[in-house]
Every structure is written in C-alpha cells, then in structure tokens.
Amino acid sequence: MTGAYDVAIIGAGVVGCAIARAFSRYRLKVVVLEADTDIGNGASKGNSAVLSTASDTPSGTLEQQLVKRGHALYRAEAPSLGLPIENLGSLTIAWNETEAETVRAMQLAMIADGFHEAELVGPDAIYRRIPALAPGAVAAVWEAEEAIVDPFSTPLAYALDALANGVDIRCSTPVTGAHFEDRQWHLATPGGEFVASLAINCGGLYGDRVDALGGNHEIKIKPRRGEFIVFDKSARGLLDVILKPVANSLGRGILLTPTVFGNILVGPTAEQVDDPDDWRCTTEGLAALQAAAKRTLPGLLAHEITTTYCGLRPGSDRPEYRIVVRGDKRWITVAGIRSTGLSAALGIAEYIVAQAMDGLVRADQKAEIVSIRVPALWERGPRPARDPTCVGRDARYGEVICHCEQVSHGEIEDALASPLPPRSLKALKRRTRAMFGRCQGFFCGARVTAMLDRSLSPEPRHAAE
Amino acid sequence: MPPSDPDCLVIGAGPAGLAAAHALVNTGVGSILVVDRDETPGGLPQYCRHLGFGWGYTHRLETGPAFTRRLLGAIQHPSLRLLARTTATAIRPGPAVDLLGPECGVITLHPRAVIVATGIRERPRAARLVPGSRPERGVMTTGQLQQMVARGVPVPGRRLAVVGTEHVAFSVLLTARHAGQRVVAMVEPDERVASYAALAAIVRHAARIPIHVGTRVVNILGGRQVEGIEIDGPSGPARIPCDSVVFSGDFIPDSVLAQASGIAIDPRTRGPVVDQHGRTDMPGVFAAGNVLRAVESSGFSAIEGARVGTCVAAYLGGSATAWCAASRPVEAAPDFDYVVPQRWTTDDGRLPAIPFSLRVRTTGAPIPIAVKIGDRVVWSDAARRRRPHRRIGIPQGPIARAAGDATCIEVCTTL
C-alpha cells in the first residue's frame, strides 16, 4: 500500500521493537506490524523487570549467548535512552544443605561459564545484606551484575528510537494472511497489504500462529503463566537486593525483588497454559505468592498490596530459543524467547540484523542517528514535578494528578501528545505510571480516563483540560 | 503570588481540614494556609450527591456538595488562603513542609503548626486479592465511580455489581441511578451487612437487589471488558453477569505523607499516633479526621477537625504544648481493632479532646468493655454489641479525672 518495505517485523514486543531499532541504523525501509493497540502489550508487559546475567540459562546455548550480549548492550545503551538501571545484585539463597550443595555447584558452573563475579557467600553476609530475611538461610550465590530496570519504558524507548530513525510502526494492524511471491512477502492486514522482501516473526505469544501464516508449522508456543504481587512502597526498606530461590524442576521459582518504581515484587508462579490470552490471576497463584513472601521475608505481609498481575512467558515446546532463519523463503522466526526477552532483546536484535545482512538484505549504515530519551518514571529518577526549574517554567508539571505515583498533568499531556501515543488506559499507565500506585485510581482514575478519552475522541480538543 | 510562611498550614481540605481551618479563623489565628491536592477543595463529600453529610457537625441533613459549600463558605476570611491542586510532598521537623503546585511551584514553608487532614481511600480490588481477569475499565472503587459520574466520564455498561455493604456501598446505589446504571447485586464477605439492617431491608425488598452475605468474589470474568463475577457463599457458587464491579468500603487512612515524613504510625489504624488533642510525635504537627483511622462520618471528622483546630490555636497562643513524651499510652486489648487516640496527655485539661473511637475486629456475641487505669476500672459496659463497622464511644470524663500519674490507660474486654 505504501510501496515495498525491505523489512517487515511482525510484533512490537520488546524483541520486535529492539530489532526494528537495530535495522533503523541502516538505509532500509522497515515497518513494524502490531496487532494490539499498543506496543509491548503482550509477553513484554508482565515480567519481573530483572536484567538477568543469563548465568542460570543452560550453558553453551544461543539463549545464554544472547542474554549475555543483550545484558552488556543494555548497560551500554540504556542510559542514553533515559532508561534506569539499579544495580542491586542478586542472591540465590539455599535454605538447607541439599540446596547449599546445588548453590555451590551453581557457583562453580557460573565461573566455568565465564560469570567470574559469581561469589559464594555465607549466612553472615546474607543477613548483613537482608536483615529482614527469614531465619535459616545457609548459603547463597551473590551476583553483583544482576540489576532491576524499567520493563515498560524499555520497549517504548526502542520503539521511539526506531520511529525517530525512520521505522514505520503500525499498531492495531494484525497480520491476517501472508503469501510469498517474486521473493517478496505480501502481508494482509485489515488496513491493507504490506509488501516486504524480508519478514521477521516476533509474534511472541502468537509466534506459532504468525509462523503458520508464513507456512511454517514446526513450533508450538506454550505460554507459561506467572502471577505477581506488588507490595506497597512502604515495604521497600525491607529489601535492597534481588532475592532468588534455588531453581528446581518446576522452574526458577518465586523471586522477591524491589522494582525501580520503589515497590517490592513477589513472583512469578509458573503454570503451563494453552490460551495465550489467559491473563487471569488465580486464588491458588496469589496464595502461593503470599506463602513465598511469608516464608522468605515475613515482614512483607504487614504491608499493603498495591496490585497483582499476571505475565505470560512465550515459551515453546522446546526449552530453548527458536530462532530460525529461512533464507530461501526470506522469513526469520524469532520465537520461544521464554522469560529472557527483556534482558536479551538488544542481543537478539544485533544477532538478527547480522543474520539478515548475511545475504538477505543489503544496505549501508546511516551516517546520522537521531537520539531519543524516554521520560524518567523510576522512583529516584529526575521527575519533572521534583524539579523547581521545570515546574517554574511550566505550571502543568506542578499539578499532580496521580498522587500515589506523583504524576503531573504535564507528564500525562506529554504522553498523550507523544509520537507513539497511548490508545488505552493500560498503555497510558505504562507511559506515565498514572493509576499504577497504591490507590489504583481511587483518586485519579476518573480524571486520567477523561484525559485519555478526550485524546481518543475524533476531534481532540488540544490541552483543553 | 507564592504563599509566605503561615501560622498554621492545614493539609487537606475535606471535612476535617476545613472544620479545623474554621476553628482557627474563629480563634483569631493570624494566617492560615489550607492546601488540597485535588482540583477543587472539599475532599470526598464533594463527589457524593446524596444526603447524609455533615450530620452531628451541622445538625442538617445535606448532600456532600452542600456540606462542602457550607464548610467552604464558613472559612472566607482575610487571614485564610486556600490553594487547590497543591500537594504536600514532605513534612520535616521544624516543622517544615515541602509543597508542589501550579501556583506555588516547588517551595518549602515553615509554618508554626501543621494539621495533617489527608483523609482516607478505599482498598482497591488488587489489595483485596480478588482473582480473575484485569479488564482496563469497569473495575473500580466507589471513590473512582463517584468522580467518574461527577465528571461525566462514562462507566462501562449498565449493570453494576457492588462488593461490600458499608454505608458507602449503599451510596453506590444512588450514584449508579444518577449515572443510568443498575446495581444487580451486592456481595459481602462478612456474615452480615455492615451498614444499617433497615437500609439493607429496603434494598432487598423495595429495590429488589439481592445482597449476598458471607460471600466472596472468587473471579472476575471477561477479557477487555467485565462480563461478570463469580461468587461463592452459603448458597454455593454462582455467576452474576455485569458490566462493572465496584469495590466499596474497606477504607484505609491515606497517611503516606505522615508515614514518609517519619511521624509515628499506629500499625493498627495505619494512621498517625495522636493524643486526645490531635498531637503527633513531631512537635507542632497535629492530625485530625479519617487519616487517623478508617472510617468515621463526615460530621464526626468535622467535629474532630474543629476540636484539633481549637487545640492548635491554643498551641499557637502559647497556652498548650507540643507532643509530650510523658503522655500515657492508651492501649486496646487484641480483641479490638484499634483505639484512637492512642495517647493521653493530662496537662491540657482545658482543651477540647477528640472523641474516642474504639472498634472491634469481627462480628460476634456481645463483649464487656472496661477502661482500666492502673488497677482501677474507671468506666465499663457489661455487654456491648460487636459490630466491626460501628464506633464504640468511651466517655472522656472518667479518664480525664483518673488519668493522673497512671502509666497506661487500658481498654480491656474483662470487667
């Protein structure tokens, strides 16, 4: 419809957006086709927001390689995008002698895998770091490199960067059919056909369905549901480190971690589900999280719960990344990214671009790159409402609308007027944090909804509020 | 013009804050600044268009907005300034208060006294750990529903399910009617309706709205929109189709400002610890209204605000002291949910005192209540009904007379 693209990326999760950004460095016409009304509204929206080192992914796998690379790239690139990294480090705690054995073996394996910072620590060091920890911890692996990040602003930053550098991002544009003709993909959407000479499936939870459109049927996505509880910011003083249990056959287990927004997060549970749209929280799941909190950090239960949510990890029928490059069909599948998409995205993007440049597309690098920054949303970040100069210059930043998260009128207006404006309340929450706090909209819900609805109405009245 | 340091800064312009401000104006305090973070002052009653506000303070039966107008009208005075859209972000010893607002910018004021009247909020669905899907619209608290209706923001669908049966749950019925919505069911986890039995009878029989007591919401159905709720109670599991769910009541003090500022918080009320004159443990900082505990009526909060306002005026005039570490703790037995005030100071007998609020945790057989000072029972009641949502009043006279040199005032369940 708008001429042929060089690359079409199907799916604007954190991986799709990172790949789009990586391609935007080249003289290529790139389009991202997203079925949802917003980017990052699938697997990318519900995770534990930990920038992992991959020390606990299987040795020698592509996943480990790409998480490792993604982690390094994130540390290098996130600050210039305005994304926070809080270097808390993680402790994987053994509660008995059997687990202590596992932890010792884990640490040796990490060293062998090149994670030289992994350190074995005893109870003294553990309790010095977390005085509120339940009694009985015997040993732990300390990993200084693990950090917490902003999971919502990360895909947004990649998307805004891609957009600023010429990528066409189309939300509400589900791909409903695909056929390959004259070495080009014709991708059908309700908004018309998109033609591209390379298609990249970043469909996440729908990765198998997208692959099927391209005639590939070997991958089956098996979503793993993970529920989370977010505790009030008043609990932040209890924990200043990422706390992980020893992984067992059931998975990595339930972790407890601060978030960059100043809350304490407990989760995820792990449950195989068939429906990629099953975002429910369950009685059992929430009970399991409370039990884990009580067992690990008993003081936590005295604090209010801010919210609960559910994430779906886009695992597949094999416990590994499913990245398949089909040169003849000019189709790349990026599926089965499991729970490591946030940490690995930049590594995956670099890898995919290298694969594509190896004969599938040909282009020069651009001489100039436009840089962008996302608004600071993290608790200790340079929020406009805390800056006297900013408030003095523009009074809209002095009027707090969301009191729990201290989001100003100006920040909400900025988000609504951004190049990738939110089209739903959840998108607006991810952009600004409004309604994300302890009252969940008791105070600001009506006003924030009104502002969004006004911006969505066919004839927006600019800045009427 | 940015405000200058006032004699008293009142944080929160709801019933307690406005009544406190009125008391300050009446006693001739030189300069008073009232700040409120909402667009317009008045607190929660301004969004409740039905009758029942201010009773006890005004002796009138008024709607929320009418009561708000009355409170605002009473404080018109050259010595008082009111700033809406203005947030207090921190209180520090001094006291010093950081404010943020479109008119004042980011400033720090050094008032001689501060009254914290930041009120309450309802616990949202997530804090009640209600499982199910999380549609982005249609699941809300009463507070949000009332503001949406007052602001003309559409509420999804026409059928509303209400969780909770405190007074505020019944106000949803009126708000819903105003918005063209129909309440299809009320669900109460406790064994009985929290509000008045007569009210419940009217709703059940005249309005024909089923009230399911002893019943929990075990699932919220739907994807992008609410399609219904699943409940489980005495008559077994059931499914109620609806378009919105309102989580009402289950109030909690909005004491984050006090807490983050290092003011002592009572873990039982989750509000600041105060003595009977509203003094917190930060010198010069007082608190009044529902920030002290959840929840009393708007009229009660206003009475409390007025009394604390009078005490603050005395403090400013030099005839009352700041928090006194020698004040005695008032301790409620574990059977009680909480007691307010949590401290009793004996040296300011002339000042008005806030009424005692004592609450039980659960519904049950009547219990005896005794107030003991040392070994002496100074007041008792042989059999008091146990209703978690009703205030149990304790007269102050006997306590004031006997407090003397006692180390502790105990509220017990044995005579």
CATH number of the domain to which B305 belongs:
3.50.50.60
Say which amino acid occupies B137.
Answer: R
* SS3 (DSSP) at A192: strand
Tell me phi and psi for residue A417, to 5 degrees.
-100, 10
What are the C-alpha distances in Å from B396 to residues A140, B347, B375, B393? 56, 15, 18, 9
Distance (Å) from the C-alpha of residue B352 to the closest C-alpha of chain A? 32
B410, B371 in Cβ contact below 8 A? yes
Residue among B85, B132, B141 whose CB faces A281 most closely: B132
Domain span at residue B134 reads 126-249
Give the span between the Cα atoms of B200 and B177, in whole angstroms.
Answer: 17
Same-domain status, B208 and B229: yes
Same-domain status, B338 and B314: no
Same-domain status, B144 and B199: yes
Closest CA to A341 of A313, A317, A320, A318: A313
Q: Of B215, B249, B283, which residue constitutes the final position of a domain? A: B249
Distance (Å) from the C-alpha of residue A290 to the closest C-alpha of chain B? 10
Same-domain status, B316 and B405: no
| Inter-chain residue contact A308 with B123, CB threshold 8 Å | no
Same-domain status, B355 and B308: no
pLDDT digits (tens, 9 = 90+) for B344-367: 988 766 899 999 999 998 888 899
Same-domain status, B135 and B241: yes
How would you class B87 by CB atoms within 10 Å of its CB: exposed for 0-12, middle for 13-18, buried for 19 or more?
Answer: buried
Q: Of B297, B323, B349, which residue constitutes the final position of a domain? A: B323
What is the DSSP secondary-structure string of A30-50? EEEE-SSSSTT-SGGGSS--E
Closest CA to A81 of A155, A136, A167, A31: A155
Give the span between the Cα atoms of B28 and B20, in whole angstroms.
Answer: 13
Overall number of domains in chain B: 3
Same-domain status, B261 and B338: no
Same-domain status, B334 and B294: no
Strand order in the sheet with B226-233: B216-222, B226-233, B236-241
Same-domain status, B2 and B110: yes
Chain A segment 405-424 residues within 8 A of B by beta carbon are: 406, 424
Cβ contacts of B197 within 8 Å, gap of 6 or more = none
- List B88's β-bridge partners, or say none: B99
pLDDT tens for each residue of chain A, 465 residues long: 457 999 999 999 999 999 999 999 999 999 999 999 999 999 999 999 999 998 888 889 999 999 999 999 999 999 999 999 999 999 999 999 999 999 999 999 999 999 999 999 999 999 999 999 999 999 999 999 999 999 999 999 999 999 999 999 999 999 999 999 999 999 999 999 999 999 999 999 999 999 999 999 999 999 999 999 999 999 999 999 999 999 877 677 999 999 999 999 999 999 999 999 999 999 999 999 999 999 999 999 999 999 999 999 999 999 999 999 999 999 999 999 999 999 999 999 999 999 999 999 999 999 999 999 999 999 999 999 889 999 999 999 999 999 999 999 999 999 999 999 999 999 999 999 999 999 999 999 999 999 999 999 876 454 444
DSSP B374: T
Give the pair of three-digit tokens for residue A247. 């992984």
Same-domain status, B108 and B133: no
Q: Of B295, B323, B351, which residue constitutes the final position of a domain? A: B323
Residue A160: CB atoms within 10 Å: 24
- Mutation test of the interface with chain B: which of A172, A228, A440, choosing the one with the most B Cβ atoms within 10 A? A440
Same-domain status, B4 and B112: yes
Same-domain status, B183 and B135: yes
* SS3 (DSSP) at B23: helix
Closest CA to A1 of A27, A22, A28, A29: A29
Chain B segment 110-129 residues within 8 A of A by beta carbon are: 121-127, 129
